[in-house]
């Protein structure tokens, strides 16, 4: 399966790519920090799967409009008061 991963945190994207590379059936073909670029790529290559990773739940609807394979919401630690 050919997959692109979207996240606004570049360091985290590279960590995810390393983890996904452990699976034989998944080929990471792109890392994007921008939903717009992923949308354009998906329009040209509809068979590509998208994994959207963010700590902002308000982007979920836009991500699923692209028929996202998965939407991973990162947990944000609570600040100690």
- Asked if residue 76 has pLDDT above 80, the reply is no
Assign 3-class secondary structure to 22-63: CCCCCEEEEEECCHHHHHHHHHHCCCCEEEEEECCHHHHHHH
65 token code pair = 């409009």
- Asked if residue 56 has pLDDT above 80, the reply is no
pLDDT of residue 8: 82
Domains of the chain and any CATH numbers? 2-73 (3.40.50.2300)
Max CA pair span of the chain? 48
| Closest alpha carbon to 33 in 68, 13, 8 | 8
pTM, rounded to two decimals: 0.75
- Asked if residue 1 has pLDDT above 70, the reply is yes
């Amino acid at each position: 399966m050919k997959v692109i991963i979207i996240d606004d945190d570049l360091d985290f994207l590279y960590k995810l790519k390393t983890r996904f590379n452990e699976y034989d059936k998944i080929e990471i073909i792109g890392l994007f920090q921008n939903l717009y670029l992923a949308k354009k790529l998906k329009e040209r290559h509809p068979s590509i799967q998208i994994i959207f990773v963010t700590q902002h739940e308000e982007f979920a609807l836009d991500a699923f409009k692209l028929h996202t394979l998965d939407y991973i919401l990162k947990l944000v630690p609570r600040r100690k008061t």
